[in-house]
Structure formats: C-alpha cells, structure tokens
Chains A and B, each alone.
Chain A
Amino acid sequence: MSDADQNLDGNGIGGLLEEIFVVEPTTAERICQSCRSRHPAGAHRAYIAAGVVLRCPSCSDVAVRVSELPGRRVVEFRGTWIFESSA
C-alpha cells in the first residue's frame, strides 16, 4: 500500500459510504456530538488504517468508524445525521 490514499476526506471514501448508506452520502450533513458544528460528510476528514475513520473537520472527534471484515462490515455512527430526501 502506498501513502497515496491517506488523508482523504469523506468525499474520497464516498464509494464505501455509499455501500453503507445506500443513498448518496457525501452531501448528508452531520452535527458533531462534541462541538455541535455542522458539516457535510464530504468535508469530514477520512483516515484509513485497520478500518476507516471519519472525523469532524472542526474538532476531529470521531464521526464514523468502519471495519471491513470478511463477510461483514461493522459501522459506528456518532453525532446527528441529516439526510435530505429527493422528493
């Protein structure tokens, strides 16, 4: 693995997020549980290690954690998420 896929953002991991959310996720907004700031998923900072961690761009607290294991995906969400419907 090269370093080219480090320090991405929620937009860059959009493919993974879309598999979880099923709807286009990068425009979904989140209100942070720690600092109460509001940002689209696409603007969050993504870190790729043993799993993927998405963090608040204002305070760096954890927004989403994802582990991709054989045959399953374990996901944790924090904060309040807002999904606009297309209707």
Chain B
Amino acid sequence: MPLTWRLGTVVATRTETPSAKTITLDIPDWPGHLPGQHVDVRLTAEDGYQAQRSYSIASSPEDDHLALTVERLDDGEVSVYLCDELRADDQLELRGPIGGYFTWQAEDGGPLLLVAGGSGLVPLAAMLRHRAAARADVDTRLLLSAGRQDDVLYRAELERFATGGIGVHYTLTREQPPGWSGWSRRVDADMLREMGPDARDRPRAFVCGPTPFVERVASLLVDAGHEAKMVKTERFGPTGG
C-alpha cells in the first residue's frame, strides 16, 4: 500500500511530564499499525515553509485512536509547536505507519528485552500496551534510563505493568528521589546481566533512544552474547525524538 499524507484531527492532548505530551488523533481510514512503527509528521506554514519529523506511535494497534508522545526539545522547531501550540480539533498532516524493521507483535513471541533511553520508551510502550491487549504472556523485561524521576514517561502505567509481572527496571542518571533504591548510573554490562534474560534464552531485544545510548547498549548486548540480528535498534538522533 503506497504511503500517502493524511490529515488527522487532534482529539486530545495530555501532559505526560514537564517536557512531554501525548497527542491523540482520529485518522479516517487509518490502516492500522504494528507496535514499534512510527509516523512522519509534516507542518506547513502559511508561506509554504515546511518542517517534517518522525514520531513513534505510542498507542497499541488495539486502541481506538492513534497516540504520539512528543518530547519537547528547546530548539525543536516541530516539537515546540506540537507541545505548546497544537490543541484539540486542530488537524495534523502525517503519513504512516512506517518501519517493518523495529516492530514486535505477540505472535513473534519472546522473551522480550526492552531497553529505552528517555523518550526511546515510546515505541517500546506501544509494544507493552499491545502485549497487554493481546494477553500475551511472554517473559518481558524493560530497562528505562532517564535523567530524573520526573522525566519518566507513563510512570503509573509502568508500575501497573510491573505489578502485572513485567520486569521493570529504572536507572536515573542525573537525580534520584530520596530513598531511591534503583540504579543511578549509565547502563553497563553488569546492569544488563542483572536484569536478564541471558543471551542463551535468545530474547528479542529492542533498544531505542538517543543515538550514542543506542549504540552503546547494542554493543553491550552483543558483547554479552546476544546475536546481532536479535538486537534491533532505533536511533532518535543526538538528543532525542
């Protein structure tokens, strides 16, 4: 099916953290998507000037509407507009879904090893939400690296996933709340070994976040014995999505 630009209507916007918003869209004739895929969003000014960026789909295919979570970058031409200006009933031009490479569906099986740096959590959250909707019982472990607890996306939902049997691990690298018992350093080999699963279990690994983070974590996983083709990566660029 050829990719065409479509117009979606903003149903709602929700503040996730001080620097991230989720935008929920209604898109007529949306063909559906696989968890992990993204859309290209295109903005057009009155003088014809255009800017385009890619955003991972946060919602699972089972949801009624499409959701994107956007991290607001201070010098981000598009993210600033999406977070500060866009509101319900606005239209947003987008095309997708894009990307068959970085996807996971319940039928692919597990174990599932998810490692996210900051807003790299978004496509992995779509996988977790789909896993829940599909009632897939695969061994799933998530490691999220964030600067501070306030930066953690979907915190309450992640807590529910943890209670429901997903191994959820955090490392807060810049600032930790009082009494913090989680990790507080950059992801390293020991951390990955501790959270598992072992490479022998041949987990499907998905790593997403800023480029340097993704490259480092992917190398660590391969060094730990995971086959390179079992480690899928999605790079967001130097700072984020």
Contacts and interface: CB of A to CB of B under 8 A. Distances in A.
Given A2-B75, A7-B211, A12 B101 contact: no
Contacts of A15: 3, 40, 54, 95-96, 98
A11 B102 contact: yes
B233 A43 contact: yes
A18 B235 CA distance: 18
Given A15-B54, A15-B96, A40 B101 contact: yes
Nearest to B241: A4
B99 interface: yes
B76 A43 contact: no
Contact of B234 (A11, A19, A27): A11
Interface size class for chain B? 20 to 34
Contacts of A8: 54, 211, 235-237
B240 interface: yes
A85 interface: no
Interface in A1-19: 1-12, 14-15, 18-19
B123 to A, nearest CB: 10
Nearest to A38: B229
Nearest to B240: A4
Contacts of B78: 4
B18 interface: no
Interface residues of A, number: 24
Given A4-B237, A15-B98, A22-B2, 14 more contacts: A1-B77, A2-B73, A5-B237, A6-B237, A6-B238, A10-B101, A11-B38, A12-B54, A12-B234, A12-B236, A15-B96, A26-B100, A27-B101, A42-B100
Interface of B: 2-3, 38, 40, 51, 53-54, 73, 75-79, 95-96, 98-102, 211, 232-241
24 contacts: A1-B51, A2-B76, A2-B77, A4-B239, A5-B54, A7-B235, A8-B235, A9-B233, A9-B234, A9-B235, A11-B101, A11-B102, A11-B234, A14-B98, A14-B99, A15-B3, A18-B2, A19-B3, A26-B98, A26-B101, A27-B101, A41-B101, A43-B101, A43-B232
Interface of A: 1-12, 14-15, 18-19, 22, 24, 26-27, 40-43
